[in-house]
Amino acid sequence: MNLGASFMINLMTLTAEIGGVALALQLVSSVSYLLWVPFAALAVWLVIWRVKFSVMENVAGLVGLCLIGFAVALFLLNPDWSELGRQAVPGASTGTEKVSTYWFYAVALFGAAMTPYEVFFFSSGAVEEGWTVKDLARSRANVLVGFPLGGLLSLAIAGCAAVVLLPQFISVTALSQVMLPVAMAGGKVLLALIIVGIVAATAGAALETTLSAGYTIAQFLGWPWGKFRPPAQAARFHLLMIICLIVGIGTLMTGVDPIQVTEISVVFSAVALPLTYLPILIVANDPEYMGEHVNGQALNGTALIYLVIILAAALAAIPLLIITGAGR
Amino acid sequence: MTAGSEDQAARWLDAQLHLLDRQVLDVHGVPMAVVDDLELSDVPVGQQIPIDTPPPVITALLSGPVLATRIFGGRPPDSRMQRTPWAAVAEVGVVIKLAVDQDTRDAAWTERWVRDNVIGRIPGGRHVPEQEQDDHPQNEERGRS
């Protein structure tokens, strides 16, 4: 059940990310994104097939930093910061928006920040790179720097849209509209930078979700897995990922809106998160696995508080999805 | 259940807890399968068991397509289960280690089939990811043997 749910969400996210790469390429080329989909998927497969794990992770991450352009654009737009802050509080937004819509997007953002695949990807990534206890400090630093940075960037994107588009009563329905404020503020150079960033971020996520699909199934069924092995020595793992990519292409080729796939996948991520979180908490308390690093009481206390938050988001996600009609 | 502290000569194993669903690694530390079921030595059905009969022992680890039968009930036919004789088991811990190469075992036949007929035939399918392969801790055992 748990595996099936996680795997389906993973597949949906994978589809959404490939759609995202294709949409970003459409912005550059004005060729329909549908034509870009097979190429995006092929590129993802080639990277998984050939590129070393650490290279893959670092390049996608560093190029993705181009998204800082959104923060730059927000500063160039020079908005009224206090007004912007007021808009971010629940219920204080414009009259046309319901409170439930606000919370729907809050849960969606929560799900997007912590999709279950990240757990599979980072834990398997630690094995791929041969981590030891020494690397734990680096991993903590990654999380403490990376997540706030990601959160800030999301705020910057939302901020740009709020400053430029809200006064014009334009509601964001397509990726190109998100780019509009950037083009206004920073011109072509910033726009190009951000498109590169979007391609890198979505492609990076597409790689991560594809690998996660392989990791979860292969680890569940006890197959050899990992990019540190030659593909032939993790044959079923690689075959599975190829099939997942083909399913993703097929789904996108039906003409389904990639943005909508994304929205639904992040909402279900929020639903499934407790299913991923709880087993890890249990293993962290198992001395047979953890040895001397087993969780202490203070850590477990914090973890339980967090579990309550996750549960609340998970339980609220589906009712909100129905009430708001997916945020419209 | 686990009286298995290190100082005791005998270690208690709970089949449900310590064997079922555990990962099986071969002699090189390469994952092979998970334990889906256990094969026990014959227990006569429907007759009185004499008091001094030795208890049944585990004769093999079984792996097979149990996902569907676990959800919908029943169990796959014996012919679909791949046997790994208990004699091949070298160590039982967080994972179960075997003393044999997985290429000699039936449980890995799908892996070999996919390798030989699909993945191995795609260009680059057998390339070794340079450097990472050698100093990877999961391959330590291979270096030693």
Q: What is the 3-state secondary structure (H, E, C) of A91-154?
A: CCCCCCCCHHHHHHHHHHHHHHHCCHHHHHHHHHHHHHCCCCHHHHHHHHHHHHHHHHHHHHHH
CA distances from B137 to A167, A201, A212, A215 (A): 57, 30, 21, 18
Containing B32, the helix (H) or strand (E) segment is strand B31-34
Q: Do A289 and B94 touch (CB under 8 A)?
A: yes
Nearest 10 degrees: Cα torsion B48, B51, B54, B56: 40
Asked if pLDDT for residue B1 goes beyond 50, the answer is no
Q: Compute the Cα dihedral for A183, A189, A194, A195 and give only its sign.
A: positive
Report the gap between the CA of B114 and the closest CA in chain A (Å). Answer: 6
Q: Do A222 and B133 touch (CB under 8 A)?
A: no
Provide the terminal-to-terminal Cα distance of chain A, rounded to the nearest Å.
31
Q: Do B119 and A221 touch (CB under 8 A)?
A: no
Q: Is A190 exposed, middle or buried (0-12, 13-18, 19+ CB in 10 A)?
A: buried
Sequential pLDDT tens for chain A (328 residues): 667 778 888 888 889 888 888 888 888 887 888 888 999 999 999 888 888 888 887 888 788 788 887 887 877 777 777 777 766 665 555 555 567 777 777 777 777 777 777 777 877 877 777 777 777 777 777 777 777 787 788 778 777 777 777 666 666 666 777 777 777 777 778 888 888 888 888 888 899 899 988 888 888 888 888 888 888 888 889 999 999 999 999 999 898 888 888 888 888 888 888 887 887 888 787 777 777 777 777 778 888 888 888 888 888 888 887 777 665 5
Burial A100-112 (b: 16+ CB within 10 A, else e): ebbbbbebbbbbb
Q: pLDDT (tens digit, 9 = 90+) per residue, B91-131?
A: 888 888 888 887 777 777 888 888 888 888 888 777 776 55
Per-residue pLDDT, A241 = 92
Report yes or no: B126 at the A interface, CB cutoff 8 Å: yes
CB A207 within 8 A of CB A60: yes
Report the gap between the CA of A241 and the closest CA in chain B (Å). Answer: 11
Q: Whole-angstrom Cα distance, residue B64 to residue B75?
A: 10
Q: Do A233 and B31 touch (CB under 8 A)?
A: no
Q: Do A239 and B32 touch (CB under 8 A)?
A: no
Q: pLDDT (tens digit, 9 = 90+) per residue, B19-66?
A: 888 888 888 888 888 888 888 887 777 777 777 777 888 888 888 888
CATH of range A2-324; options 3.40.50.170, 3.40.109.10, 3.30.70.141, 1.20.1740.10: 1.20.1740.10
Residue length of chain A: 328
Q: Whole-angstrom Cα distance, residue A321 to residue A328?
A: 10
**Which residues is B38 bridged to in the sheet?**
B61
Residues of A with CB under 8 A from a CB of B: 1, 49-50, 52-54, 127, 130, 132, 218-233, 235-236, 238-239, 288-289
Report yes or no: B138 at the A interface, CB cutoff 8 Å: yes
Per-residue pLDDT, A268 = 83
Of A1, A228, A232, the CB nearest to B115: A232
* Amino acid at residue number A214: G
Helix axes A136-164, A99-113, angle to 10 degrees: 150
**Best to test chain A binding among B25, B114, B128, B131 (most A CBs inside 10 Å):** B114
Report the gap between the CA of B43 and the closest CA in chain A (Å). Answer: 29
For B96, the 3-state DSSP assignment is: strand
- What does the DSSP assignment read for A9-78? HHHHHHHHHHHHHHHHHHHHH-S-HHHHHHHHHHHHHHHHHHS-HHHHHHHHHHHHGGGHHHHHHHHHH-
Q: Whole-angstrom Cα distance, residue A290 to residue A285?
A: 7
Report yes or no: B34 at the A interface, CB cutoff 8 Å: yes
Q: Which of residues 84-123 of B touch A (CB under 8 A)?
A: 94, 110-112, 114-115, 118-120, 122
> Residue with structure tokens 């969780």?
A295
Per-residue pLDDT, A242 = 92
CA distances from A168 to A154, A163, A184, B136 (A): 21, 9, 14, 56
Which domains, ranges and CATH numbers included, belong to chain B?
1-43+54-123 (2.30.30.240)
Q: Do A235 and B124 touch (CB under 8 A)?
A: no
Burial B98-123 (b: 16+ CB within 10 A, else e): bebebeebebbebbeebbeebbbeee
Nearest 10 degrees: Cα torsion A263, A268, A270, A276: -140
Tell me how many degrees the CA angle A50-A247-A174 measures, rounded to the nearest 5: 95
Residue of B nearest to A2 (CA): B71
Provide the terminal-to-terminal Cα distance of chain B, rounded to the nearest Å.
35
